[in-house]
Amino acid sequence: MSRILNIISSPRGAASNSIKLADAIIDRLKEQDPAAFVQVHDLTNKPFPHLEEAHLNAFFTPVENHTDSDKEAIKHSNDAIKEIMDADVLVIGAPMYNFGISSVLKSWFDHIARAGITFKYTAEGPVGLLTGKKAYVAVTTGGVYSSGPATGFDFVTPYIKTMLGFIGITDVTIVRAEGFAVAELQQTALDKGIDSIQL
């Protein structure tokens, strides 16, 4: 039985296209493995905070020297990393906000990128430590970025691929549903995105 971690980063609940697209990916994964366990983590319910001094102190203090306040500051980071470690597959919903990812997703990345835990520095450069996993990213956008004049303005997919690769998750499939703000495309955008899913 595989474990799927579904990361939600849209606050729009049942109206969210990235949630619907991610759910369609999960449905397809469950066709392959009906017993798959799905852990849902909705980042919009209790967003990770911006990194504060207390978080950074805890990140860069050896575990054996952690004070009670370090332990408290690092708890949610540890929990989020454990969720990823426990998962075989990540399905991340990523709406585009102002050409990038939503701030709740950025904060999640800020709390899971930990030297010595999810990546390490070597003489050859950083090496990701969360290897052997697969990720699908459901990217939804108002405009069109897969082709045409706005291609260079998509900072969602390169950023997510870079961050996942940085922590060792290099097998990443991007699934797009795009054009929700384009009159001629918005009715079919989600179905086209769902139809494009390839596991």
Ligand X SMILES: Cc1cc2nc3c(=O)[nH]c(=O)nc-3n(C[C@H](O)[C@H](O)[C@H](O)COP(=O)(O)O)c2cc1C
Extract the annotated binding site: 10, 16-18, 96-99, 140-143
Q: What is the nearest approach in angstroms of ligand X to the Cβ of residue 110?
A: 19
- 3-state SS of the chain: helix, strand, coil percent to 5? 40, 25, 35
Which of helix, strand or coil describes residue 125? strand
Residue closer to ligand X (CB basis): 107 or 140: 140
Q: Binding pattern to ligand X, positions 108-147, x when CB under 6 A?
A: --------------------------------xxxx----
Task: Report d(CA 104, CA 150) in Å as an integer.
Answer: 24
Number of residues that bind ligand X (CB under 6 A): 17
**Residues 118/77, Cβ–Cβ less than 8 Å:** no
Could you list the residues known to form a binding site for FMN, using ranges: 10, 16-18, 96-99, 140-143
What Rg value do the Cα atoms of the chain yield, rounded? 17
95 binds ligand X (CB under 6 A): yes
Q: Binding pattern to ligand X, positions 12-51, x when CB under 6 A?
A: x---xxxx--------------------------------
**What is the separation, in whole angstroms, between the first and last Cα of the chain?**
17
